[in-house]
Amino acid sequence: MIFQQIVNEEAGCLSYVIGCGQAGEAVIVDPGRDRVDEYISRARKKGLRISHIVETHLHADHVSGNRELAARTRAPILLHHSVHAAFDHTALQDGDEIRIGTVLLKALHTPGHTPDSISLLVTDLSRSGVPWFVLTGDTLFIGDVGRPDLGGEQAAGDLYESLVRVLLPLDDSVEVYPAHGAGSLCGRAMSFKSGSTIGFERRFNPALQAKSKREFVETIMAGLPPKPPSFETIVAKNRGLIQVREAKPCPLTAREAHEEIGRGAAVVDVRDPAAYGQEHIPGALNVWIESPQFGERVGWFVHPGTQVIVVAQGPSDLERALTGLARIGLDDILGFLQWGLIDWKSAGLPLETVPQITVHDLAGWLEEGRQITVMDVREPFEWGEGHIAGALHIPMREVPARRSEVPEDRPKAVVCSGGLRSSTVISALKQAGLSNCYNVGGGMAAWQKSGYPVER
């Protein structure tokens, strides 16, 4: 058996190539839109023909590459029968099997994260009739379990039943490979490990330590992160209800870009926070291309259907940005600023700045008693590990819904772990008309390294 895990580190997505060398066939599981060429290349190098494409569930965090892969390989797409996708596919029932040579994949219906979620129990018959590993989709992660996004407490209860009745009774030695890892929005405390075993997860996964279904549901539902604004759009695209299009951005002069902005186009500036802070187009959202979850972060602040103009440092960053945005279904890329801000300045168009301060500046201001709000935009677990006394805590993803809590009448020092999310939040606040923000370079990592006090 041939088995390869393909990791998308930027989004935390995991997909799989499972093949049989004797049969010369391969199954691709959970294909990403930006990895289609890689699946075909890997299969070709192993002498395999892609014969099946399987989705463990209807994804809501990224657009699938299943239809493009099917078009290029003529392999059928297999989905759980409850998906009711609007494109050609084969419906899977609980217990259905896929056989390629000596490799056997058995579909196990494991609803919870979504009603259509399945896990794939894989056996290498040339080795043994005992299952070797299970692809758990977004039902069971390494160190966590899936979010019950669609059905609330009922879905959380279904997830519990799927775990205790289907997955956890498997032998301790069965290996576990999920559809997402650390960096994904589909869980809260996923490990950076890319694989585990049923025995290890049963013993050490915090989400599996609940003593009852009720305790499990209460734990899973507590502090559930907000759903991304692009959630419904991505689901509709993956169901085939909205067409998936390839972005074809046009090079724009500064004057052309300015006119499009006047018509409602959004600007996404993918340069680093220091460059953005020095000068940027008014209203531009700043998400550095090197940021973890680049596309997902943009998706929190740019609504689906909005036409986008990208400002990048160079061609490679532009290409990476287009790939990251396509992953989350942001295909309405109107264009990019062809000559960058040099052209913008030459045209005499307005620019804005964001002051960058150090943790030493902030510590001095607080010691002087200056009236300034420290706004911490990290996640709750980061906040719990140590924060500045008196800080206002609004995680980045919650800023759009909680903008009214941000004071308008006083300066704001925005802090995250290192200065990236804080720059994104400042740019979003500026879009909403809130000014007088300072980006704290180095963030809480620099604050604690410098020995300044924290509360826990």
The enclosing H or E element of 345 equals helix 340-346
Q: What's the pLDDT at 228?
A: 78
Parallel, antiparallel, or unpaired: how do β-strands 118-124 and 133-137 relate?
antiparallel
CA distances to 17, 69, 452 from 41, rounded to whole Å, are 11, 12, 51
For 292, the token pair is 């973890």
pLDDT over threshold 70, residue 163: yes
The residue count of the chain comes to 456
Listed residues 321, 346, 371: the one ending a domain: 346
Query: Are residue 73 and residue 202 in the same domain, yes or no?
Result: yes
Query: Are residue 54 and residue 174 in the same domain, yes or no?
Result: yes
Nearest Cα to 114, choosing from 159, 79, 166? 159
Q: Which domain holds residue 117?
A: 2-221
The domain that holds 372 is classified in CATH as 3.40.250.10
Q: Between 220 and 281, whose confidence is greater?
A: 281
What angle do helix axes 315-327 and 294-301 make, rounded to 10 degrees?
70
Q: What's the pLDDT at 434?
A: 93
Which pLDDT band, with edges at 50, 70 and 90, does 156 fall under?
very high
Q: Between 73 and 330, whose confidence is greater?
A: 73
456 within some domain:
no
Number of domains composing the chain: 3
Which pLDDT band, with edges at 50, 70 and 90, does 58 fall under?
very high
Residue 264 gets the label, from left (phi > 0), alpha (psi -120 to 50) or beta, of left
Which pLDDT band, with edges at 50, 70 and 90, does 232 fall under?
confident
DSSP tag of 33: G
Listed residues 169, 188, 221: the one ending a domain: 221
Query: Are residue 166 and residue 303 in the same domain, yes or no?
Result: no
User: How confident is the model over 203-219, as a mean pLDDT?
Assistant: 93
Which pLDDT band, with edges at 50, 70 and 90, does 294 fall under?
very high
Q: What's the pLDDT at 304?
A: 80
pLDDT over threshold 80, residue 10: no
Which pLDDT band, with edges at 50, 70 and 90, does 247 fall under?
confident
Query: Are residue 307 and residue 193 in the same domain, yes or no?
Result: no
Which pLDDT band, with edges at 50, 70 and 90, does 182 fall under?
low
Percent of residues, the chain, with pLDDT higher than 70: 97
Q: What's the pLDDT at 197?
A: 97
Q: What's the pLDDT at 224?
A: 76
User: How confident is the model over 181-191, as a mean pLDDT?
Assistant: 56
pLDDT over threshold 80, residue 346: yes
Contact 21, 2 (CB under 8 A): yes
296 within some domain:
yes
pLDDT over threshold 60, residue 361: yes
Q: Between 408 and 224, whose confidence is greater?
A: 408
Listed residues 346, 375, 409: the one ending a domain: 346
Nearest Cα to 192, choosing from 210, 176, 180? 180
For 309, the token pair is 């103009």
Query: Are residue 327 and residue 368 in the same domain, yes or no?
Result: no
Tell me the whole-structure pTM to 2 decimals. Answer: 0.88
166 within some domain:
yes
Contact 287, 310 (CB under 8 A): no
Q: What's the pLDDT at 227?
A: 78
User: How confident is the model over 433-455, as a mean pLDDT?
Assistant: 96
Query: Which range has the worst mean pLDDT, 220-229, 275-284, 306-315, 437-446?
Result: 220-229
Query: Are residue 216 and residue 180 in the same domain, yes or no?
Result: yes
Q: What's the pLDDT at 110?
A: 98
Q: What's the pLDDT at 183?
A: 53
In angstroms, the CA 292 to CA 302 distance is 17
pLDDT over threshold 60, residue 380: yes
| Whole-number average pLDDT of the chain | 93
Q: What's the pLDDT at 77?
A: 98
